[in-house]
A = this chain, B = another copy of it.
Amino acid sequence: METETSIKIRGYHIDHFGHVNHARYIEFLEEARWAYMETNNLIALFHQTGIIHVVAGISVKYKRSARAGDVIIIKTHLEKAEPVGFTMSQDIFLGNILILEARITNVFIDINNQKAIAPSTALISGWPDLCNSYKKERTNNG
């Protein structure tokens, strides 16, 4: 399920133009993906199945800037399951205004040999969003 993470912008998040620094947004997005994993009980699932995931690509569009004192909301959901990985979609809102869009591509890695791997049945069945996305793919393709 999609999660929402709120973060209050502090003075130390801000650069000399009064904008949140780019690297800091990458951390905010990472914080929000951890929250998604926790809420969806995936941290234990990854541990049990011996499959981890690493980020293979990041694409970010900056639309508006946030300032000190603002509270931003990061909405995080699974965009799409892929043969050996998945893409997360993350949108940051300030009130109703979309200020940042991100797509994060991840690859599943077998923790034993550190190589890319297709997700096991246990992993798919324990992560409903992933399972539904694979079903949808199959339907579209067949």
Query: Which residues of the other chain, B, contact A16 by a CB distance below 8 angstroms?
Result: 11, 14-16, 18, 68
Task: Report B-chain residues with C-beta under 8 Å of the C-beta of A55.
Answer: 22, 62
Within 8 Å by CB of A10, from B34, B60, B61, lies: B34
Cβ A10 vs Cβ B31 within 8 A: yes
Is A56 an interface position by the 8 A CB rule?
yes
A54 to chain B, nearest CB (A): 8
Is chain A's binding surface mostly helix, strand, loop or mixed?
mixed
Partner of A34, one of B11, B15, B59: B11
A5 to nearest B CB, angstroms?
11
Say whether A11 contacts B22, CB under 8 Å. no
Chain B residues near A31 (CB-CB < 8 A): 10, 12
List which A1-34 residues lie within 8 A (CB) of chain B.
10-12, 14-19, 21-24, 26-27, 30-31, 34
Nearest CB to that of A103 among chain B residues? B59
A39 to chain B, nearest CB (A): 12
Q: Give chain A's interface residues, CB within 8 Å of chain B.
A: 10-12, 14-19, 21-24, 26-27, 30-31, 34, 43, 54-62, 68-69
